[in-house]
Amino acid sequence: FRGRYVKFSRNMPQSPWVLDGERKGEGSVEECICVPAARVFGAGACKFHAEGREDIDVRMLGAGRPFVIEVKNAQRLSPSCGELEAAVNSADGGQVQIRRLARCSASDMAALQKDAENHRKTYLAECWSQRPLVEADLAPLRSRRDVDVLQKTPVRVLHRRAPAVRPRTVHWLDPVLTDEHYFTLRLNVQAGTYIKEFVHGDLGRTR
């Protein structure tokens, strides 16, 4: 099946995350979808594949993130997409919701990662500045278009990802001043951009 998921929790990884023998977060998106799916179909296993991922403390809103699940060794084939959606959306306090569910072929799964980095995504960040700001400070951000940045693997994920330098494009920025120290930044970027690191620089690792 293919569909899209939204995630409302700020403490949930996409897949089960165990670090130094300790489970991180409250469940996972994968479990919120696959456990009800396996139960509905009486399946022996369920595999989850998504187009990219968000951080454990980041919500996934809007139209949702595309995903595919493989339901294996199903004992029941009659449940509809609507029944599966209802089972997932009513589980785990509704922290994960799925929509636009449909049966699909294996090629849909292969296309997920193939197309992932060609997409553009829009994010919203709440930013803080130590220095008091005025409206004129934000004007240069609005004028920038298609800015190329180089991002080294973030410090926060170096323990589980190889060091690398990733070129990414920030297509546009739309800041709105909240008060003299806070502003909301809406930005449209190439998929795979590390948003937190773009905002704070990551000790100079994003330039």
For helices 29-41 and 81-89, angle between their N-to-C axes, nearest 10 degrees: 130
Amino acid at 59: R
Catalytic residue among 20, 55, 57, 92: 55
In the block, tokens 């699909």 appear at 104
**Separation in Å, CA 41 to CA 38, 75, 77, 78, 185:** 5, 6, 6, 8, 43
Concerning whether 146 is annotated as a catalytic residue, the answer is: no
- Closest Cα partner for 117 from 195, 14, 198, 192? 192
- CA separation for the pair 53, 69 (Å, rounded): 15
Residues involved in catalysis: 55
